[in-house]
Structures are given as structure tokens and as C-alpha cells.
């Protein structure tokens, strides 16, 4: 009964490094999402996926890459991390369309030095 998990929970990296944040869900939900949470902005959608091998951009996709080779996993990669990508990242999933309730992971706190 793990639900949706994220790893790592905390990460410190340096500018220019590649970082991958992992997200795994055990419900076989079709939709998965990546958000970033910043003070004064609330949550902003980075990317989402409607099914395996189907991904699409959200509001703030620049500097991020996603993939979804398996339904249960949805990793987010920062190809060359920048200080502006310091944030808390949340993964979420929903059973069918995006109008359904989203279930959130516990978040990954990323600091880019």
C-alpha cells in the first residue's frame, strides 16, 4: 500500500549538474504530473503524462525532461541544473482524466548551489 513515492526526499547539487528525481506509483493510474512549488507561486505544472510513452508540457517545462517508459514511473530530469530550479518538486497521479482527484507524493526538496 505504498501509494505514490518520490526519491530522493532531499537533494543538494551544483549548477550545471544533471539531476533526476524519481516518482513511482502503485495504483496503475494513467495520469502522472510533475509540479514545482515556490513561495508566491503556489504549484506550477512542469510536465504531465496521460499514459506510458505519452508526455506533454505544462506551464514551466524549460530546463526539464521527462520520460514514461512504464506506467508506474515518471522520472523528472534537470539536464543542467540552475539556481532558479531550487524548489520543492511534487509528483502526482490521477486515475483517468486530469479532472479527477490528484494524489500527491511527499515531495523532493532540491537545492542548487
Partner 1 sequence: GDSVTQMEGPVTLSEEAFLTINCTYTATGYPSLFWYVQYPGEGLQLLLKATKADDKGSNKGFEATYRKETTSFHLEKGSVQVSDSAVYFCALSFRPRNQFYFGTGTSLTVIP
Q: Which residues pair with residue 102 across a beta bridge?
A: none
Determine contact, residues 76/34, Cβ cutoff 8 Å: yes
107: left (phi over 0), alpha (psi -120 to 50) or beta: left
Q: How far is the CB of 60 from partner 1 (least distance, A)?
A: 12
Which parts of 67-106 interact with partner 1 (CB under 8 A)? Answer: 90, 92, 97-99, 101-106
Region from 15-23, 44-52, 68-76, 78-86 binding partner 1, contact rule CB under 8 A: 44-52
Residues that bind partner 1 (CB under 8 A): 31, 33, 35, 40-45, 48, 50, 56, 58-59, 90, 92, 97-99, 101-107
Amino acid at each position: 500500500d505504498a501509494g505514490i513515492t518520490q526519491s530522493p526526499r532531499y537533494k543538494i547539487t551544483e549548477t550545471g549538474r544533471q539531476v533526476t528525481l524519481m516518482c513511482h506509483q502503485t495504483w496503475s493510474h494513467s495520469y502522472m504530473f510533475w509540479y514545482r512549488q515556490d513561495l508566491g507561486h503556489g504549484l506550477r505544472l512542469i510536465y504531465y503524462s496521460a499514459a506510458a510513452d505519452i508526455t506533454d508540457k505544462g506551464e514551466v517545462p524549460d530546463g526539464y525532461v521527462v520520460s514514461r517508459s512504464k506506467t508506474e514511473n515518471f522520472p523528472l530530469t534537470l539536464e543542467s541544473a540552475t539556481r532558479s530550479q531550487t524548489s520543492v518538486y511534487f509528483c502526482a497521479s490521477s486515475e483517468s482524466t486530469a479532472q479527477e482527484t490528484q494524489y500527491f507524493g511527499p515531495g523532493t526538496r532540491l537545492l542548487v548551489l
